[in-house]
């Protein structure tokens, strides 16, 4: 049976929420940006008047102001964006229980089983568009198709406030002329590889022999060939579907450059605390620790190491990450950002071999200490218990990497 899939994209979501809260900003060039004083000064979302003047997601604030001197810059309010996102999802769930979020501002809906109740997929799309505008004061662009990838192309095809149907009868006319970057999962690096062999449009990609693509790109070449031809069988997950978490990570661009080992060690301690706390919330331990580093010239690298035993000890994560950093970095220039990732997660209640070695006993003690700190912070706030080391640098020590983490829109990561 042919499926009916919608992709709903809230237009300029963060900026639209801010304009709804502040009516005086409607129609003006607005950008929601990270804090410049914390060196997070990039554009997260821009309103359409700002976009028409050249302001783009991921652009530095100073650069955006060169394109648009009248730009109104606002800090993000993630709590409000999450609240509005939940309200939008409540509307979607009145039409189907198969709602798969794609960030805060996007979602796929499988309405195959809903057409008998609410009408055709286009009629359902119109109802959702009207309700979001009336109830939340936002506009959405909706793609209507028989699979997720093509529905996403439809929602991107015309913005803002549009509904685009792309199905077998009009697929070639609508999709083939689009640039290859429009296809889901084609990022800047993949686009460069495709354009290097003459694949500048989705049509050229669709007509290219799959053997050529797999020879150049590997397995992903075959996947992209199928997507370009409008073939995608991946299901829309139910609202209550919980995907398995394979890793937990956190990274931070620091308020100032890190210039010595002590600075990096302090940041790794803070980040490891947040990663280990998240693992305990998930009831997991990690078997691999990874550290990521980006220097002041924006050169980056990652290194990882397998642990001798699963752990959610912040002390062990920080020690392992710092050891990897020391082995790999030669201080050619200051460090701008660092990150810690715990990968290869296993359940916390998984059976492990008992040990009498001091290192294993030390791990168990640190995990109990971390758990006690979690309970105190949940009751009295993050800064009620801190390591003595963080007091050595008040600027870095005030960072709360667990609660102050900013959720960027997916478009930001796609470049």
Residue pair 401/268 in contact by the 8 Å Cβ criterion: no
Residue pair 29/144 in contact by the 8 Å Cβ criterion: no
- Listed in sequence order, the residues at least 6 apart from 176 whose beta carbon sits closer than 8 Å to its beta carbon are 201, 202, 203, 206
Of 2, 18, 70, 106, the catalytic one is 106
Q: How many residues in total does the chain contain?
A: 415
How far, in Å, CA of 35 to CA of 414, rounded?
21
Characterize the bridge pairing of strands 72-74 and 30-33. parallel
Is 106 a residue of the active site? Answer: yes
In a 13 Å sphere around the CA of 8, the CA atoms on its Cβ side amount to: 34
Give the ranges where 283-393 is alpha helix by DSSP (H).
314-328, 358-380
Please report, for residues 52, 225, 233, 234, the alpha-carbon distance to residue 148 in angstroms, rounded to integers and kept in the order given: 28, 15, 8, 7
DSSP of 322-348: HHHHHHH---SS-EEEEEEEEES-EET
Structure token pair of residue 171: 């697929």
For the annotated catalytic residues, the residue numbers are: 106
């Amino acid at each position: 049976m042919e499926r009916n899939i919608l992709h709903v994209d809230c237009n300029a979501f963060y900026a639209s929420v801010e304009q709804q809260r502040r009516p005086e900003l409607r129609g003006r060039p607005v950008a929601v940006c990270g804090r410049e004083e914390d060196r997070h000064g990039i554009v997260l979302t821009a309103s359409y008047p700002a976009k028409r003047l050249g302001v783009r997601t991921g652009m530095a604030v100073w650069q955006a102001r060169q394109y648009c001197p009248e730009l109104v810059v606002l800090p993000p309010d993630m709590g409000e964006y999450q609240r509005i996102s939940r309200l939008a999802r409540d509307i979607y769930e009145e039409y189907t229980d198969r709602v798969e979020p794609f960030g805060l501002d996007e979602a796929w809906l499988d309405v195959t089983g809903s057409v008998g109740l609410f009408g055709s997929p286009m009629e359902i799309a119109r109802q959702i568009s009207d309700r979001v505008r009336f109830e939340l004061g936002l506009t959405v662009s909706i793609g209507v198709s028989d699979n997720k990838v093509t529905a996403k192309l439809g929602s991107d095809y015309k913005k803002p406030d549009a509904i685009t149907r792309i199905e077998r009868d009009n697929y070639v006319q609508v999709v083939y002329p689009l640039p290859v970057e429009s296809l889901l999962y084609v990022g800047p690096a993949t686009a460069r590889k495709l354009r290097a062999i003459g694949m500048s449009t989705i049509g050229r990609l669709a007509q290219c022999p799959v053997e050529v693509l797999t020879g150049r790109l590997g397995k992903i070449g075959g996947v992209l060939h199928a997507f370009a031809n409008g073939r995608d069988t991946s299901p829309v997950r139910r609202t209550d579907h919980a995907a398995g978490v394979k890793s937990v990570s956190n990274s931070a661009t620091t308020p100032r450059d890190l210039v010595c080992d002590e600075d990096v060690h302090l940041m790794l301690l803070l980040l490891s605390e947040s990663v280990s706390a998240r693992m305990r919330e998930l009831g997991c331990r990690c078997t691999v620790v990874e550290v990521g580093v980006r220097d002041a010239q924006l050169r980056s690298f990652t290194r990882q190491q397998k642990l001798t035993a699963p752990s959610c000890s912040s002390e062990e994560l920080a020690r392992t990450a710092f050891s990897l950093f020391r082995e790999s970095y030669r201080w050619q220039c200051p460090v701008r950002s660092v990150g810690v990732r715990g990968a290869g997660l296993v359940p916390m209640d998984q059976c492990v071999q008992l040990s009498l070695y001091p290192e294993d006993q030390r791990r168990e003690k640190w995990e109990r200490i971390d758990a006690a700190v979690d309970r105190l912070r949940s009751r009295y706030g993050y800064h009620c218990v801190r390591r003595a080391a963080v007091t050595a640098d008040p600027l870095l020590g005030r960072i709360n990497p667990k609660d102050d983490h900013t959720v960027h829109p997916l478009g930001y990561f796609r470049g």
